[in-house]
Amino acid sequence: MPPTHGSERFRGWSLLGLSTLAISFTLPGQTIGVSSFAEHFTNDLNLSATTLSTAYLIGTIVGSLTMPAFGRWIDRAGVRKTMIAIATAFSFAVAYMGTVHHLWTLVFGFVGIRMLGQGALSLVSQTSIALWFDQKRGLAFAISMTVSAGLMSLGPLALTSLIAAFGWRWAWCIAGGCIFVAVVPTAWRWMEDRPESLGQLPDGLPSALIGSAKKVDHYTVKEAVVTRAFWIMTAVTVVSSALLTGVTFHHFALMKAAGLTTAEAAAVFIAQMVGTVVAGFVWAGLSDRISPMVLLISSQASLVCAHLAYAEAGPGIGAAVYALLLGVNGGSIRALASTLYPKWFGTRHIGAIRGVATAFGVGASAIGPLIVAGGFQITGNYVHLNYALAIIPAAAMLAALFLRPPQKVRSKTSPPETNVG
């Protein structure tokens, strides 16, 4: 489209706020949100903890399989239409969770909230940010990670308050209504697909520079998935996704074994969110300045240290340090996944590329709770289990040593494209 609106104020920063809002409202589809309802599911639906974990596993895996299709849809239809549709469907899926009465309706509900919340709504929101920022992408994601993590840290308190006031079924329905009211009209009114639809450039560069914009390679999905960088980045993300989800799902059992009360265990989430907020800002901000290899290794080092720190995770500072390190890993890996994929592979097919990577990440989060539960049955001790789990991110650190940014091979008649598409 011609730059007929090129004199308008750059819209990227306001759309960054809208996308961050949408990410924050994925909370009911995230493990930290679902955990607020776990006890009510087991009591009212007469389910064992193992059955509940298995239902969560099935719902998450099935939901993850749809991520590549969602990514292609986002690229084809644009951010605005897909965000409106996904947020609408997610709000109904969350409300539906208040109506479940037996195991298979619960599984169906888990498919919906994991597919649409943790998966699709997060994917389309992060895709929007990647499209509107290039040189300032690290800063943009740093701001988004900081704000969304801060808002999500209030989520469990809000959900438990709703449960106490209205019961767990109505809490789901109210949460679904809040998502619809907050996200759908806002996206309908203000969301734009990409800067070029308004005659603008990423980062707010003057339209006069369109001919001299930075040259960038835009990979297709097939081209991206044959690169070493894609698989190393995705593998490291899988490690963090599986282990963080596992220990978060069993958080209260881990903290009880460490000598904390239920109230103390709930307070530990504050330290974890502090780590997430700070690390998300720092790692995203450094993504344009420091080698990706160094950033990935340091991210996984924090997870190794977290598992080792569990041995000292008693009431007080010990549990806080453990949770803080978990937060550092969660915030840093989210920031790197959000910034490195578009940096390496361009933005033309970024929805589809991120969709494939997200499928692996969401799928890994499904098996995390079973890894922790099965590991505890084998070791009989959460300290020994965490020592064993520390080996996995240590192996990911070794894999990251082989990371190199991809170099696209092209013919002499195929010059790189400008970063405007």
Predicted pLDDT at 215: 61
pLDDT band at 227 (very low <50, low <70, confident <90, very high): very high
Q: What is the pLDDT of residues 45-65, one digit of tens each?
A: 998 877 888 898 899 899 989
Predicted pLDDT at 31: 83
Question: Rounded to an integer, what distance in angstroms lies between the CA atom of residue 57 and that of residue 370?
Answer: 8
The four Cα atoms 85, 86, 89, 91 give a dihedral, to 10 degrees, of -120
> Where in the sequence is the domain holding 130, given as residue range(s)?
12-203+216-405
Spatial contact of 420 and 410, defined as CB atoms under 8 Å apart: no
- Phi/psi zone of residue 380: left (φ > 0), alpha (ψ -120 to 50 degrees), beta? left
Answer whether residue 34 is part of any domain: yes
DSSP class of residue 130? H
Answer whether residue 414 is part of any domain: no
DSSP class of residue 261? -
For residues 116-135, average pLDDT: 91
For residues 362-381, average pLDDT: 86
Predicted pLDDT at 266: 77
Answer whether residue 182 is part of any domain: yes
Predicted pLDDT at 391: 96
- The C-alpha R_g of the chain, in whole angstroms, comes to 21
Predicted pLDDT at 88: 97
Predicted pLDDT at 249: 80
Answer whether residue 148 is part of any domain: yes
> Which of 29, 75, 30, 21 shows the shortest CA–CA distance to 185?
21
Answer whether residue 392 is part of any domain: yes
Q: What is the pLDDT of residues 313-327, one digit of tens each?
A: 988 899 999 999 999
Which CATH number does the domain housing residue 24 bear?
A: 1.20.1250.20
Predicted pLDDT at 89: 97
Q: What is the pLDDT of residues 22-51, one digit of tens each?
A: 999 999 998 888 888 988 998 899 988 778
Answer whether residue 335 is part of any domain: yes
Q: How many CA atoms lie within 13 A of 359 on its CB side?
A: 15
Question: How much is the pTM?
Answer: 0.79
Q: What is the pLDDT of residues 299-315, one digit of tens each?
A: 999 999 999 999 999 88
How many domains does the chain contain in total?
A: 1
Predicted pLDDT at 216: 66
Beta bridge partners of 215: 418
Backbone phi, psi, residue 216, to 5°:
-145, 145
Question: Rounded to an integer, what distance in angstroms lies between the CA atom of residue 292 and that of residue 278?
Answer: 18
Answer whether residue 419 is part of any domain: no
Judged against a pLDDT cut of 90, whether residue 84 lies above it is answered with yes
Spatial contact of 111 and 59, defined as CB atoms under 8 Å apart: yes
Answer whether residue 70 is part of any domain: yes
